[in-house]
Every structure is written in C-alpha cells, then in structure tokens.
Structure 1
Amino acid sequence: MAKEIKKPAKAAKPVTKAAPKKIDASKPVKQAKTEKPAAKKSSFQLDTTAQRIIDTFEQISAIPRESGNEEQIRHFLIDWARSHKFLYITDKAGNLIIKIAASKGMEKHPTIVLQGHLDMVCEKTPDSDHDFSKDPIRFVYDGEWLKADRTTLGADNGIAIAMAMCLATDSKVKHGPLELLFTIEEETGLTGARGLETGIIEAKYLINIDSERDDVFTVGCAGGKDTHIEFDLGYEEVPYDYRGMHIKVSGLTGGHSGENIIDERANAIRLLVRILHSIRDLCDLRLTWVKGGTAHNAIPRDAEATFFAPIDRLPEIMSHVAMAKAYLKSEFERTDPELNVLIAEMPITPDRRAMMSYITMKALDLLYAMPHGVVARSTDMPHLVETSSNLAKAWIDNGKLFIHSSQRSSVMTRLDAITHRIEAIARLAGARVQSGAGYPSWRPDFNSKLLSACKKIYKSLFGSDPKVEAIHAGLECGLIGNLHPGMQMISLGPTIKNPHSPDERMYLPSINKIYKLLIQILAEL
C-alpha cells in the first residue's frame, strides 16, 4: 500500500479507512441505477484482455460525461478506487488522482502517471434523439471497428480510463507506483489541466493515453486560444410583399478541428454564409435567425438560417440555391460526399420583424470575413499544420449575433497573430470581442529517456519503429509540463478515426496492441 496521503489541499480526500462494499477486486465497479447500453457483440474475435477493456469502456459509456458534467463518472471512479482500497484525491478543480502501490518487487521503480480526461465531445446526427445528459452511448460493432449509434463514441477519451482501470487491477501486470490522473473539461479548454494543483503528482514520467494512432508516439502539440464575438443587431418590420424562407446546410463530415483541419473539410457555417451572401447580391435579404456549430473543437457539420426576401424573387432564389448546391457538392465531393442544401418557404407568421438591410449585410460580411482552415504549415515538418483557425459556432439570441472561433498553433507568437487578426475583423465590424488566455504548446523533447525506452520496447514487441510526431491538436501535456518542470511525457493510444463527430470509430485490434505496449513500458521503465 502506498503511504497515507496527507491533505495537499482543503479539497483533498485521502482514503485510509475505507469500508468498501464486497466487490470482486478483479472487475471494475458497476454504476448503480444506470441503464447499460444494448449492443451486439463484435464479429471480430476479441481475446479475454481486449474484451475486459471493452466491457469496462461500455460501463464508462453508460455514464453521462459531457464536458462540465463529469460528477457521475468521477463518483464511479471513486467507488472503484474505494473497492480496491486505492488512495484517491479530488483537487479543487475537480480532477481525480488515484494512487496505486507498486507490485511486489517493483517498489524501487519510478512512479508513472497514466493520464486521460473524464469528459467527451457530445455530437449527434440530426435524426438522433439521444440525450447526452442521461442516455448511455449505444455501441455498434462494424467488423473490426467499434462506433456508436448516430453519436460520438467517446473513445476520446473513455478508452484511456478503461485501460488505466484494467492495468491497475490486472494481477499479471508488474508495475512501479502508479498515479492515475483523470482531468475534467479537456474538450472545452483544458480546464482541469489548467487548474491542476501542484504537489499532488509526484511522478517524473507521464503517459497520456489520448493519441489516436496505434503506431505513433506523440511528443508535442499545438497551443490554443478561443475568441468570442458579440455583435448587436437592429430589427424592423419587413414589407408585406416579403416572404419568410428557411435554408439549411447539412450532412457534412465535420471532425476534430485540429486533427482534421488539414483535410480541407467543408465548414457548414461558411457554406451557409456563402450562399446567403450570394442571394444578397441578387436581391434584398433580411436575416432573422442563424445557428451553426456545436463545439469549439469540432468542424461545424450543420448550419441553418431564416430570412425574408421579396416574394417575386423567390423562384430566382430557389434556382440560385439549387445551382449553389450543385457547385458546392462538386467542390467538396471527396471530403463531404453527403453535403446537402435545403431551402423552403416558411408559413406566414404575424411576426414580420427582421434585421435592417444594412445590419444584415454587416452580419453576413462579418461571418464571411472570419478565417477558417489552415493558416500555415510547419517549415520543419511540412506534413504538420502549424497554425489554423476554426469558425466553430455562430448563433443569434436576444438581438445579438454570437461567434465563437478557436485558434491553434505550435508557435505561440503566431497563435497570438491569428487571434489578433480575428479580433481586428470583429472590431472593424463594430462588434465586441474577447479572447481567452489559451493554453501553451508542448515542445517536443526527442532526446528524453522516456521516449527512447518506449521506442525500444515498441520495436521489440512489433518488429518495426513507431512514428514519432507532434500533432496539431491540444493535449494536456503542455499545461501539466508547465506545472511540473522536468517531467518527461509521451502520448499514445489506440487508433480512433473521426473523433468529435458521429462518425467516430475505434479500431478494435489496436486496443490489445496498446495494452501490451503499456504493460511492457510499466514493467521495464
């Protein structure tokens, strides 16, 4: 048993005299009063170890864990820690740290942190009635792949939690002292890593299980910053010969705004604004409502708007939108094959207020001018995006247009530059703008002892060298490293495709591969 933990902070909760329920110590705790998702088993034959990991992940997936709603999953893990008599701490931010004693004979090995995050991105298709505040994620097996029923799967990052739990309770796994670090709100700004209290983590080595290719070691990542824009709107009654219209862009591929930005996938907000702007060139158009995007770190898949236009120009507008749909489908046929544009007349309503003509134009110009996509590629690693921006969300509420943009860069001065450019665009439009503090990039250390050991172990297990890369996405390693100078870190994980979208899927054979790798790293380090 590890030493009793003295209270490192007022919020710390050392466990020394737990009275756990009688639970099989080899299995994770089942969450009470939570419906277990129904799923057909995989046609791909999983071995006992991989099946145990998937079963644990399925238990985790039965618990709601949208960013900001991590309380239930944290309690689930605390119950699990108590049942195994593991010491645990919850810090002021809400992060959970579980301390696990070394295996017999491994007491002199260095302490290692296994790190993941508690939350997940909650995205679903328009036809899904899934309620992320209460419904379990329902698994769908597709050969060697695991996905969800029209929602994000949450393997980013539930699979990290499942693997850490299994490693900690697998009697065959030999390890030195372990610290399981599970952070909150990673997906909405790395809030947990930002608020992690110093002095709680003792290890000098950290393995982040939040990468998405089983043949890659990630040793660096981009920093990021979010910008919020607020633009006041003005309304008036439209003429009686104007008719209300509804337009929607849907079916886009979407994806992670860091990892997938290089793929040049369409952004639904940009396409919608592009069409509206072109209609405005044909005739007067008065916006009433806009909504697009759901998360700061997801490329928008759907966007819609309502507007008024002269009734005698409706046939021309319909024809124009049909042409726009055709050329947009042609432009994005490879990246967004399901792209669709629908437009229809709205029922006549007594509320005929819409934005004034010049306000409509200013709002459309502001949205049209917002950057989105790759800004610069790395000159050191041309395959890597250095700087990008994501036009993540736009919506109208209470007489205001709100815009949320998310920027990333591995060069912090260039992160500031693209953020300042977006702020300048907002000010030119007469909007209010505010950017957050952001989070730092993680600079690669290609000479670290941890990386050298992991590369050697990987090659001995699988007969080839792993790829070693930095990624254009945010990982918590940058913030954790700032709090713990000298800590050596690496990120790895099973193969996951299309995270942050309902097309998210995990490659089942990669689960056992990464688990075997982790077992050997814990044994040899």
Structure 2
Amino acid sequence: MDKKIEKVLEIFKKINSIPRKSKNEEAISNWLVEWAKSNSFKVVRDDFLDVLITVPASKGYEDRPTIVFQGHMDMVCEKIPESNHDFSKDPIEMYIDGDWLKARETSLGADNGIALALAIAIAEDKDVKHPELELLFTVDEETGLTGAVNLKANWVQGKKLINIDSEDEGVFTIGCAGGRDAKIELSSPLVENYKYDTSLIVEVGGLSGGHSGVDIHLEKANSNILLTRLLKEISYKGIGFKLAELNGGSAHNAISRSSRAHIAINSCDIVTIKEILNSKLKLMKSEFIVTDPNMKLSITESTKLEKVRDKKVLDLILALPHGVMYNSSQMEGIVETSCNLAVISTAENCFKILMSQRSSVMSRLDEICNKIDSVVKLSSGGVEFGGGYPAWQPDFKSTILKELKDCYINIFNKEPKIEVIHAGLECGVIGAKYPGMEMISIGPTIKHPHSPDEKLHIPSIGDIWLLLVRYLSI
C-alpha cells in the first residue's frame, strides 16, 4: 500500500476512535482544535463547534488564492441488531478486505471522516506544495446541516471550496437537492386492555437500507412500511388486535432497515396470525428479491399487555408518501423530488414519525410538504416542518470545475463525470452564506453509506490524493 494512503488511513483510524455521532461532536471538535494548535496552525471555533483551521502557504505559493477544504465531523451511526457497539464511547472497529475498508457490525463513518483525514494528511505533508488552505470542518451535517447553517458570514476568506463529501471517485458533483424534514405526532393514549389475553412481538429486519438521497431511486424496502403492511393484513383478514408499541428506523437520511411492533391479540388467533404474516412476507420478498434478498420476519409470543393503543397510525403510515415522487425533466436519470418515511417511535401518549423530503426544485419541495400536511390533518395529527436547506444550483462554467477537470484529465487520461445529485450537500448552504464562492464536491468511492454495509475503496483514496495535490500545485 502506498505510504500516502497509509498515512490517510492512520489519521482516519484516529478519527474513528473518537465518538462523533450527530449532535455529539464535542470530542472530535476538541481533537481538531488540539491538532491545529500542535501544528501551530491558526484555529478558530464557533459556538456550534464548527472548526476553521488556516494552514499557511508553502514557500513560493503565498500569492495564490486560498483554497478551502470542507467536510463534516459527524457520522450516521448504524449497526446490526445483534451488535453491542456503543457509539457514545466505542471506537469504530475497522478492517481491510481486499481493496475495501470496512467496519465490523457498524457503519464505517467514511462519510465524512475521510474528508477530515485527507485534509489533515495534506496539511501535515511537507512535500505537498500549496497556497494558503482553510480547513472548514462543520458539525451535525447528517441531521440538519446545523453547522453549515450557523456559519458566520465573514468567517471563511477563500473563494474556491472543495467539499470532500462525494462518494464516487471520478465524479465531480456541482449541484444537489434541497431538503426539509417533517416531524409528525399522532395522539394515541394508552387505555386498559379488557379484550386481548396475550401478545406478539413482530419484527421486520435484514434489509439493506442505505442513504435516502443516494439510494432512494433503487426502490429498496423500507421496514416501517413493510411492517405496517404486514399488520394491516391482519385487519384485512378480519382479526382484531391493538398496538402497544411501534418503532423503526434510526435517522432522517437513512432508509429504515428494521422495525418492531408489540401487538395485543387473543390466544385463539395466534396460529392464524402467524400464517397470515408469513404468507404476506413471502409475497413481499418477491417484490424486493433484488434489493433486499435477506428480508426476514420474526414473530415472538409474549404475555398479556395491560395497556394498549388504537391502530390508526397504521392508516397514516400507508397514506404518507415515500420514495421517488418526480424524476428530473432536465437531467436524465436524476431524481428530482423524493420522500423518506424515516423513523417511527412510540411516546407516552402518541406515535411520532420523522420524514425527510428532498428536491432540486423548491416549489416541488413545497408541494410534497403540503401533501404531507394534508394527509396528517386528515388523520387528526400534527406536523412541524424544519427550516430545511436550499438546493445547490450547478455552475457548469466555474473556474474551479475547469481547473480540476484539466488536472484529472492530465493525471488519468480520461474525463471525469460531471453530475448533480439528489442527496443534500452543505455546498447549498455555504453558497448562500458566501455569494460568489466557487464550489465542487469530490471524494473517494464509498458504497452503502449510512448502513453497516458501508465500505471505502482504498485505491480511490490514492486517486483523490493525486488529484488534490496536483490541483494545489498549479
């Protein structure tokens, strides 16, 4: 393995030893500040824990324009159901499998820890010639782009920004969708259970999950919707039951992989209910045989429930939109508008649903949010929409695009792919904060982000290294 790649992976391992779940970035922010100080780099931090580090220009490069490297500190923390990993304290356990870096039982955190590792490795390498660098590391990108949204308008001085948060080497991203979350509550108080003498715990799992922006067009199974369909099948067959709990999903930008319900039933219906659920699952497996071949159903007999709830939430879940709503009419093969029914949770007197909407056309984003609002109102629930983040409109004539494209062709003797993606990137927010900023997003190849199957292509790290070093030297 090339020593430059080894150095990047060494830094990435250190980063992955520090807890950095979204909204829990204090430790990694502190580490970045200390790293900067130990290298005598100027460092400032804002009240939200965003970090800006200034690396002086190499000798002879002092008069060249400042380049900004940007990435986010936080990661999506996903693990397999059997894992005992504690993301609040345990390091990510990494291992190499051929050309790929993987994690045992958890997401890897290459999204976006590899950005930090690459930027730090370049800043430390005395052989790399570069103009002044600004390393902009933000917090809470995965659950609301909080760090980028709260950046001070005069903080960053550079006018050319390289976001290292794309996931396909050889692809230059120059635009992305905007987004907005919806928090839904549906009243469902617990009441005495006078009718049902036993209960079942029904779980759907084994799904592939994935990123709700990058993977939404693949039409992967959503465990929240699958479980709801299974439970509704019991009602369709005329068998009564009540809910006690319904939980599934883990993050607004992850397609839910597992969901669990606890239902009150009569013992005389156990056999029939199991037959109904298993028969329905068999049919659903055929729908997702390509995307989710490991789909599984678990049915566990439990004891009588003293308190139960109504099951109106099931109707709401099936009525809410999920998946691709519109494809782009301007860019072939690009999703324009989508919706992710991300998380369902059970509270004391209600069910809560978290949804995430994306669109590159802001009027369409309004439309899908209005649709959600209407469906929730018809169910007598309440919904609160987050402020969201803007789309990043592409600039095909930017200087930074031409410069990086020329560098790529000179190194690899082929042209990079230029694209606009459906996932959200901080560039949209940063561009709104800093008018006139030229931006591009690149990165090594990452597969299955936001899931325990996440993996990082090691040779592509070397390709990104070569590209960045060449660009900095021009």
TM over 0.5: yes
Alignment partners' CA distance in 2, 1:212 and 1:480? 19
- Aligned pairs for 1:63-212 within 5 A: 63-212=18-167
Deviations 1:328-359 (A, max 9, x none): 1111111001100111221x24x42212xxx3
**2:251 partner SS:** coil
- Match of 1:188, SS state, is coil
Give the 5 Å matches for 1:399-478: 399-478=349-428
Q: CA deviation at 1:421?
A: 0.6
Cα gap change, 1:505/1:318 in structure 2, threshold over 3 Å: closer, same or farther?
Answer: same
Q: Return the match for 2:220 from 233, 257, 265.
A: 265
Asked if 1:336 is matched to 2:286, the reply is: no
Offset, 1:310 = 2.6
Q: Which residue is 1:368 aligned to?
A: 318
| Equivalences, count | 473
- The residue that corresponds to 1:323 in the other structure is 279
Kept in 1: contact 2:358–2:423 (CA 8 A): yes
- With over 3 angstroms needed to count, the CA separation of the structure-2 counterparts of 1:316 and 1:466, relative to structure 1, is same
CA contact (8 A) 1:92 1:197 kept: no
What is the TM-score with the length of structure 2 in the denominator? 0.98
Question: Alpha-carbon deviation of 1:240?
Answer: 4.9
* Structure 2 residue 8 is the aligned partner of structure 1 residue 53: yes
Cα distance in 1, alignment partners of residues 421 and 291 from structure 2: 21
> Aligned partners of 2:195, 2:322: CA distance in 1, in Å?
38
Residue 303 in 1 paired to residue 259 in 2? yes
**Corresponding residue number in structure 2 for 1:352:** 306
Describe the SS at the equivalent of 1:274: helix
Equivalent AA in structure 1 for residue 101 of structure 2: L
SS across alignment from 1:277:
helix
Higher mean displacement: 308-317 or 268-277:
308-317
On the 8 A contact 1:242/1:310 being kept in 2, the answer is yes
Distance 1:140 1:279 in 2: 44
User: Is 1:294 aligned with 2:250?
Assistant: yes
- What is the CA deviation profile of residues 453-501 of structure 1, one whole-angstrom value per residue up to 9, with x for unaligned ones? 1111100000100000011111000110001111100000000000000
Unaligned runs of 5+ in 1: 1-45
d(CA) in 1 for partners of 2:12 and 2:422?
Answer: 27
Question: How far did residue 241 of structure 1 move?
Answer: 5.1
Amino acid at match of 2:189: G
Tell me, in whole angstroms, the C-alpha distance in 2 between the residues paired with 1:89 and 1:96.
Answer: 6
Contact 2:233 2:277 in 1 (8 A): no
Q: Is 1:238 the counterpart of 2:193 in the alignment? A: yes
Paired AA for residue 294 in structure 1: S
Do the aligned partners of 1:205 and 1:489 also contact (CA within 8 Å) in 2? yes
Which of 363, 372, 381 aligns to 2:331? It is 381
Structure 2 contact 94–104 (Cα < 8 Å) conserved? yes
Q: Give the structure-1-normalised TM-score.
A: 0.89
| Alpha-carbon separation, structure 2, partners of 1:275 and 1:255 | 22
Q: 2: distance between equivalents of 1:179 and 1:77?
A: 13
Cα-to-partner distance string for 1:298-345 (whole Å, 9 max, x where unaligned)? 000000101112322221111111111211111111100110011122
**Counterpart-to-counterpart distance in 2, 1:237 and 1:382:** 55
SS at structure 1 position matched to 2:11: helix
| 1:213 corresponding residue in structure 2 | 168
The range that moved more, 154-163 or 237-246, is: 237-246
RMSD: 1.0
Encode CA deviations 1:87-143: one digit per residue, 9 max, x unaligned.
Answer: 001012221000111100001110010000011010000011000000000002111
Kindly tell me: are residues 460 and 316 of structure 1, through their superposed partners in 2, closer, same or farther at Cα, counting changes over 3 Å?
A: same
Aligned partner of residue 187 in structure 1, secondary structure: coil
Give 5+ residue unaligned stretches, structure 2: none
- 1:253 equivalent in alignment to 2:208: yes
Q: Is residue 2:241 matched to residue 1:285?
A: yes
Query: How much identity, in percent, do the aligned residues show?
Result: 47
Q: Secondary structure at the match of 1:186?
A: coil
Post-superposition Cα deviations, 1:203-247, rounded to whole Å, max 9, x if no partner, equal 110000000000100000000000001111133333455321110
**Whole-angstrom distance in 1 between the partners of 2:63 and 2:112:** 30
Q: Where do 1:467-506 residues align within 5 Å?
A: 467-506=417-456
Give CA-to-partner distance per residue, 1:9-33, whole Å, 9 cap, x none. xxxxxxxxxxxxxxxxxxxxxxxxx
* 1:149-180 per-position Cα deviation (integer Å, ceiling 9, x unaligned): 01000000010000000111111111111100
Looking at structure 1, the residues matched to 182 and 473 of structure 2 have their Cα atoms a distance apart, in angstroms, of: 44
| Structure 2 residue 462 is the aligned partner of structure 1 residue 508 | no
Write out aligned runs for 1:215-230 (5 A): 215-230=170-185
The answer (yes or no) to whether the contact 2:180–2:357 under 8 Å persists in 1 is yes
Displacement after TM superposition at 1:191 (Å) = 0.3
One-letter amino acid matched to 1:426: V
For residue 455 of structure 1, give the secondary structure of its aligned residue in structure 2: helix
* Deviates further, 276-285 or 49-58: 276-285
Q: Tell me how far 1:382 sits from its aligned partner.
A: 2.1
Q: 1:482 to 1:240 in 2, by over 3 A?
A: closer
Match of 2:402, SS state, is helix
Report the 3-state secondary structure (helix = DSSP H, G, I; strand = E; otherwise coil) of the residue aligned with 1:403: strand
CA contact (8 A) 1:217 1:468 kept: yes
**Residues in 2 aligned to 1:171 and 1:246: alpha-carbon distance in whole angstroms:** 59
> What CA distance in whole angstroms lies between the structure 2 residues aligned with 1:492 and 1:408?
21
